[in-house]
Structure 1
Amino acid sequence: MADKSRTPMRRKERKEKESAEMTKDVKKAKNEGEMEVDSGELPSAEVTVTNGSVANGENGDLQVEPMELPPFEIIAGDRIDPFVFKFQFKNVEYSSGRNKTFLCYLVDKGNSSDGLLRGYLEDEHTCAHAEEAFFIQCLPNYDPALKYTVTWYVSSSPCSACAAKVAEVLKARKNVKLSIFAARLFEWEEAEIQAGLRALHAAGCKLRVMKPLDFSYTWETFVENEEQPLNLWEDCKENYEYYQEKLADILQ
């Protein structure tokens, strides 16, 4: 592991800064969220999905045992609210208040006539997580004859449970190539998290921390930006370098 003295800001100062920012941003998000609900302009829609354990069927295909989930646990949409994006995807070291996962996805099915699939998932961390729900909700009609190229831009890297399940999927579905670009590393100091990231890497998943250009691309592709450019925060590049160094240490 690299020397922790290279952290972008001293931990105490960073934590105080993030705590104050979180308090301010959460209050603003709550007020704006109430306004959006009242006007009926929420970009996402209520969905009910099925989820369950992963296993291999008799013919080697991936089988999912369905389990009914309550509504509102996984939210699907086309574009993210700009304020929510700036808060949830900010690559800070301390992620206080950022207790959801936002997963923006692109799916290329090769020679399929479906074209490029694009959208995002948001989870509430009450049961199913966005990474696990993606394969059920976004690829419900998986075809082993097609070649899938899947790209995720996520607000934070997967937890250990999700990493293990996604690794299982990639091992069972050799025709699915997945790249994950994460704004932040989730609890990267934990041994089980590191093991999960290594399992993903071993299963063929491309893992990388989001660069400043990735944030701008995600803003243009997945956010209701009203054709306004993204003004990156001051320490975006510095924080990217910090997280990328940690990820390289974990995967080496």
Structure 2
Amino acid sequence: MADKSRSVTRRKEKKERESAEAMKEVKNEGEKSKREKDRGEKDKGEVSSEAEASNGQNGEPQVEPMDLPPFEIIAGDRIDPFVFKFQFKNVEYSSGRNKTFLCYLVDRGNTPDGLLRGYLEDEHTGPHVEEAFFTQCLPHYDPAVKYTVTWYVSSSPCSACAAKIAEVLKVRKNIKMTVFAARLFEWEESEIQDGLKMLQAAGCKLRVMKPLDFSYTWDTFVEHEDQPLNLWEDCKDNYEYYHEKLSDILQ
């Protein structure tokens, strides 16, 4: 009983420590965004002053501001290193990590543009990145081509996304997919577990990212400027924790 009590206490302390670290990282990211916003407001003010001078004494703008569409999916080539370290950190309690990042490799065999590489990012305001991948990265699907798709995601798919991926794989038999996840999303929920089992049954290989996978993703998908990735404390322990949970779910 004493050992169990100590184990519960250690897990509680770990949760509190990781939550505090996450809040600190969110604060740092927020301060960085604020600095960028302040610089943008300064530039905007300078432009506005110049525009007022050119428009005469009434200062009325000659061009109406453009209405931008709501933010949904961002597609890119390489991720900011700070963002990667925060979003892909394989902590057990992922407070503040409300986005999903999906890094992808697509091998289309002996075709002129055989290899695709990039990443997608969402804020869950529209389609999730898992769904967006098939519409944005494979819009011209060819049933005669053999696709080998590899994902490195910051967290495993939700139940709805798992069902959609499984549906695609059942119809498109020429797609072979492997998904490496830094964390397991709400793995205790029965519907999430059912979704992961559904993916496996559809032929998708599910893996938890090892320390070497984080280093590979850093080298391949991050704008690191030749700086190596210094893995965080407990990276290996957290991998083993998630690996055990995934094995229990899929057995």
TM-score range, shorter-chain basis?
0.7 to 0.9
CA-CA distance at 1:151 after TM superposition: 0.3
Task: Give the corresponding residue for 2:174.
Answer: 175
1:188-226 deviation per Cα after TM superposition (whole angstroms, max 9, x unaligned): 011000000000000000100000000000000000101
Q: Is the 8 A contact 1:8 1:239 kept in 2?
A: no
Q: Distance in 1 between matches of 2:35 and 2:143?
A: 44
Amino acid at match of 2:78: R
Task: Give the corresponding residue for 1:22.
Answer: 22
Task: Give the corresponding residue for 1:220.
Answer: 219
* RMSD of aligned Cα (Å): 2.1
- What TM-score does the superposition give when structure 1 sets the normalisation length? 0.83
SS at match of 2:32: helix
CA-CA distance at 1:126 after TM superposition: 1.7
1:145-179 deviation per Cα after TM superposition (whole angstroms, max 9, x unaligned): 10000000000000000000000000010001110
- What TM-score does the superposition give when structure 2 sets the normalisation length? 0.83
Task: Give the corresponding residue for 1:209.
Answer: 208
1:77-106 deviation per Cα after TM superposition (whole angstroms, max 9, x unaligned): 111110110011000000000011000000
Q: Is the 8 A contact 1:108 1:115 kept in 2?
A: yes
CA-CA distance at 1:16 after TM superposition: 1.0
Matched, 1:87 2:64: no
Q: How many residues align?
A: 220
Q: Is the 8 A contact 1:105 1:153 kept in 2?
A: yes
1:61-91 deviation per Cα after TM superposition (whole angstroms, max 9, x unaligned): xxxxxxxxx5421111111110110011000
Q: Distance in 2 between matches of 1:23 and 1:251?
A: 32
Task: Give the corresponding residue for 2:134.
Answer: 135
Q: Distance in 1 between matches of 2:224 and 2:246?
A: 30
Task: Give the corresponding residue for 1:119.
Answer: 118
SS at match of 2:84: helix
Q: After alignment, is 89-98 or 25-34 more displaced?
A: 25-34
Task: Give the corresponding residue for 1:49.
Answer: none
CA-CA distance at 1:19 after TM superposition: 1.8
Q: Distance in 1 between matches of 2:127 and 2:34?
A: 25
| Cα distance, 1:15–1:227 mapped onto 2, change above 3 Å | same
Say which structure is richer in helix.
Answer: 2
Where do 5+ consecutive residues of structure 2 fail to align? 41-68
CA-CA distance at 1:143 after TM superposition: 0.6
Q: Distance in 1 between matches of 2:8 and 2:34?
A: 35
Task: Give the corresponding residue for 1:166.
Answer: 165
Q: Distance in 1 between matches of 2:222 and 2:122?
A: 17
Larger Rg: 2
Task: Give the corresponding residue for 1:199.
Answer: 198
Task: Give the corresponding residue for 1:240.
Answer: 239
CA-CA distance at 1:14 after TM superposition: 1.7
Q: Is the 8 A contact 1:184 1:209 kept in 2?
A: yes
Q: Distance in 1 between matches of 2:15 and 2:161?
A: 27
| Cα distance, 1:17–1:112 mapped onto 2, change above 3 Å | same
